Amino acid sequence: MSDSCRLPPCDAGADGELRPPAPSAVLQVVRMRAAGRTAVEDEVLEEVPVALSYNGVSHAVMLATPSDLEDFALGFSISEGIVSAPQEIHDMEILPGPDGIVIEMRIATPRFLALKDARRTLAGRTGCGLCGVERLAQAIRPVPERPKAGAPIALAAIDEALRQLPHWQPLRELTGASHAAAWVDAGGQIRLVREDAGRHNALDKLGGALLRSGLPVAEGFVLTSSRASYEMVHKAASIGATALIAVSAPTALAIRTAAAAGILLAGFARPGQLVAYTDAERLSGELPSADASRTFM
């Protein structure tokens, strides 16, 4: 591997065991302005290959920021339907190495057998004439419809969370490169945030953290610093969220999925404004006027 592609070094603890690298690195850069060029140090966000392995079988390799990896593994396992509850993951070990990080999980036998069957089915269809049609159908997984509408959400609570969010993003403050996913309670207070170079990874990390926390997920809402794709809606639904607020745009598929699942979806959220795409009747009160003195994102 050339120097230009070298992965960040793993740290060795006092016991000699390798630790995952830091989520950011200090690198030499050249800053250019009208006044000239300056060689300076800059904090840059890391991303490394992370392999998710179940009962010794590698399932997926993702590029992720090496922080909150336990939350990431749990959230990914839930959102992808590999397990249905944290208790079905019996053991988890994070194994850093020179080529990346392996997260080895031991899951319940019925879940592992189902995972093996799914993998075997996909492998067996590669030679069939209509396998593309079936794979396309599998790309859009159903989201369970909620039996009742989620709780009302005060517009003032969303506005307050938007004001708070930049102060909960230390990696973004350092590097300018990370996405954030936050869980916000009914009063507009951010209770949990996770960051990552990837927006899906950030939401998976948040999902894992929420599942561990015992917080009443359905009584608040998820706030993301990114756009809202179908996958973001699906991941939010998989952890029991009833509302997803995004600072950027949703896709049409995300809107249809949210409507089918009974999830409130809003986008273009800024202090003093947002666009509601589904379940707008659940938004109560009025948005405060945008304050030009506030800083956002």
Residues identified as active-site: 128
Q: Residue 296, SS3?
A: coil
Q: What is the DSSP string of 69-118?
A: HHHHHHHHHHHTTS-SSGGGEEEEEEEEETTEEEEEEEE-HHHHHHHHHH
Contact 8, 46 (CB under 8 A): yes
User: What are the start-end ranges of the E strands in the chain?
Assistant: 11-12, 18-19, 24-33, 36-45, 48-54, 57-64, 89-97, 100-107, 153-154, 179-184, 190-196, 221-224, 243-246, 264-270, 273-276, 283-284
Q: Which residues contact 159 (CB under 8 A, 6 or more apart)?
A: 188, 271, 272, 287, 288
d(CA 273, CA 263): 19
